[in-house]
Every structure is written in C-alpha cells, then in structure tokens.
Structure 1
Amino acid sequence: MNRPTSPYHCYSATDGGLIEDPEQREEMLKHLPAVKVLKLRVQDKVVLIMDVYDTLRKGTTGRVVRFADPGRSLALEGTGDALEDIPNGTTPCYPIVDFQVSKAVVRRSLVLPEVFSVLSPDGLGGVDASRTQIPLALIPEPIL
C-alpha cells in the first residue's frame, strides 16, 4: 500500500482534574492510553483505546477515511440541511473511521473526543486527573 500523503490533523488533549500541580498531574496522566497530541491523516490505520458504543470496543481497528465537523457529518448521513446551518471552519473536524467490526462487517463512525479519568483512590468519586482526547491510537504501518 502507498504511504498516505494527505495533510495531518492534529488533536491536542485538554487536561484537567483536582490535582493542580502540572508535574503531578502529568505523572498521573502518563499511564492513560490517550496521548497529549494525536496526529492523524486519511488512510491511517488506528485502534480504539476505549469502548465508545456497544459495537465499537477497545481494540477495534479501522482506517481513517476522511475528516468532518459533526454537523457536516450528520448532513452526510442524511439528517437534513445541517450543512446550511454550520458555516465552514467554525467547528473542528474529527476523524471518520471505517472500523472492522467482524470479518464481514465494517462500521463507519465519526470519532469524537472522550474523557479519560484517573479517579481518586479515597473512593469518594473525585477525579484527580483527566484527559479529553480522541479515543484512537495510531497503528504504525510497515515501511516497504
């Protein structure tokens, strides 16, 4: 397969949580599967790093087929005139991925940011640190 030549789309994570010290927060977040900066382009092979739907589970692989903002993606799915309502360039574009759900089934899905959390060990339900990022990891392609 030819190496992709399309431009990269970069997604910088947003970090938060109760821990205010940046070094301590970063130490907690480094154990999460979500990276600080994710760079993707059309034809990249990816893997889900968290469950996002009943049929799209962590570990499901797929290929990026294009990028679209959520409103434009919905219009492409046949939900009416959302294309008219959202001007170009006002919302970020997210990856649309063809996931291989089974040998015979491919599911196309717009992948939006999700929150990855490090919960407080005291059991009170607090979130010590969190990272909001696209729940995908790049699968390196072999160089031929």
Structure 2
Amino acid sequence: MVRYAAVFPAAVGFFSVVVLTIAWNVNNARHRHGAAGFALMQAVGQCGPLVGTRLYPDADAPYYSRGMAVCAGAMVGVAVLAAGLRWWLARVNRRWDREEEAEAEGRGEGAGEDEALVDGGDGGRRKRAFRYML
C-alpha cells in the first residue's frame, strides 16, 4: 500500500520536470536554434524507453533492483550535468555583464542594468537580445 501511495508524488515530480526542462531548453537557445535544440533533446530523451525495456527483466521481479539502480544513477548524472550547465551559463552571463559595463564606461554612456547596450557590428548600438536563463 505504501509503495502504491508513493507513485503519486513521484509522478507529479517526474511529469512537471519534463515540462520545465523543455521550456528551459527552448528559452536558452539563441535565435533560430530553439527548434534544433528541442529536436535534439527529444531524440536523446526518447532513447530512455528503448533502454528501459531491457533494464527490467522478469527475473528481477518484484523489486527490479538492477533497473532501479541504473535509473537512480542516471538521475544523479542528470543532476550533476544540470548543476554544471547552470554554473557555466551563470559564468557566461557574468562575462557578458562585465563586457557591457566596460563598453558603457569606455564610451561614456550609462547603460542601466535592464538596458545593456552592445555594439551592433555596423557602428550602431542596440540592446542585447539574448541572455541565458538560470
């Protein structure tokens, strides 16, 4: 009975994370790369069911320790990769902030936190169009 009851909070956690991961992936893709990132994420993500059918043989019933251990290891791996990606994206955002501040000070123009300006390449200045979501 306890194992059956534990399925409900687990399902709530698993299914909500999928939606958040899709939104994070698409929103962190630069202009016109969102579709490719989404397609790649889905292609890799759909490999899970292919592997999963082999992880739970009838011989391991009823607890399926081997399959559960592999899945737990994969979840830990994903958590480590997500933490590393978050660290890297924050580092890139900080570097962009320093570059924008240096450029604003060098030209004598004040750029507010929400109005960071960057060189448009053609001599004009524009607002930065992209920033990673953490």
TM-score by length of 2: 0.24
**Structure having the larger proportion of residues in helix:** 2
Q: Which has the higher contact order (CA 8 A, sep 6+)?
A: 1
The structure with the largest alpha-carbon Rg is 2
- The structure with the greater share of residues assigned to strand is 1
